[in-house]
Amino acid sequence: MSGVRRIAVMGGSYGNLAALEACLADAAAQGADCRAFLGDSIGCCGHSNEVVAMIERGFDLFVAGNHERQAVLRSTSCGCGYSSAEDEKISCEAFELATAGLTEQARALLGTWPDSRIVEMEGGRVLLCHGSPGYTSEFLYEAELDDLRLEAWLDRFDVRGFVCTHSGLPFVRHLAGGRFVVNCGVVGKPDHDGDPAVHYAMVDLAGGEARIEIRRVTYDHDNWARTMEAAGISPVFIEPVRTGIWTTGIASLPASERFRWLRASPERRAGTASWQPRFLDGEAWKRTLADFRALGLVTDSEIEEALALLDPAFPFFAAMRMADSVHLHVKVEAVEDLPHERIEALGTRPENERPGYIKYPFPGGINLIFSSIPVAEEDQLGSAPRPKPFVDHYGIDLRRETGLVRALFEDSVSLARRAGWPGKPQGGAGRGVFCCHSVVAEKYWVYPPAEGSRWTRPLEFAYGPLQISQEMNGCDLRPIDPRHPEAGNAAACATAAH
| pLDDT one-digit tens code per residue, 471-497 | 555 567 899 999 988 777 665 554 333
Non-local (6+) Cβ contacts of 244 within 8 A are 190, 192, 193, 194, 195, 196, 197, 261
CA 86/CA 251 separation, integer angstroms: 8
Phi and psi dihedrals of 446, rounded to 5?
A: -130, 155
**Cα Rg of the chain, angstroms:** 27
Residue 440 belongs to a domain with what CATH number? 3.10.180.10
Looking at the structure, do residues 297 and 370 belong to the same domain, yes or no?
A: yes
User: What is the domain-level CATH number for residue 240?
Assistant: 3.60.21.10
Does one domain contain both 128 and 220? yes
Q: Do residues 400 and 441 both lie within one domain?
A: yes
**245 lies in a domain?**
yes
- What's the total number of domains in the chain? 2
Domain containing 124 equals 2-257
At residue 387, the 3 state secondary structure works out as: coil
Residue finishing a domain among 205, 223, 257: 257
Q: Which helix (H) or strand (E) holds 438?
A: strand 438-440
Whether 371 and 408 share a structural domain: yes
**Is residue 27, in this structure, part of any structural domain at all?**
yes
Average pLDDT over residues 77-90: 92
pLDDT 10s digits, 116-165: 999 999 999 999 999 999 999 999 999 999 999 999 999 999 999 999 99
* 340, part of any domain: yes
Query: Per residue in 26-36, pLDDT tens?
Result: 999 999 999 99
Which string of DSSP letters, residue by residue, matches 304-329? HHHHHTTSTTSTTHHHHHH-SEEEEE
Contact 51, 41 (CB under 8 A): yes
pLDDT digits (tens, 9 = 90+) for 314-368: 999 999 999 999 999 999 999 999 999 999 999 999 998 889 999 999 999 999 9
- The reported pLDDT for the residue numbered 495 is 39
> In this structure, are 31 and 155 located in the same domain?
yes
For residue 389, cis peptide bond before it (omega within 30 degrees of 0): yes
Residues in the chain: 498
pLDDT at residue 166 is higher than 70? yes
Instruction: State the angle between helix axes of 85-100 and 403-419 in degrees (0 to 180), rounded to the nearest 10.
Output: 150
Measured distance CA(183)–CA(173) in Å, rounded:
9
The CA distance from 84 to 64, in Å, is 23
Residue 396 lies in a domain: yes
- Answer whether residue 437 shows pLDDT above 70: no
Of 141, 186, 199, the closest CA to residue 38 belongs to 186
One domain for residues 204 and 71 = yes
Is pLDDT of 9 > 80? yes
pLDDT classification of 498: cutoffs 50, 70, 90: very low
Residue 59 placed within a domain:
yes
End-to-end CA, the chain = 68
6 and 31 Cβ atoms separated by less than 8 Å: yes
Predicted TM-score (pTM) of this structure: 0.82
Residue 276 resides in a domain: no
Cα–Cα distance, 238 to 341 (Å, whole number):
48
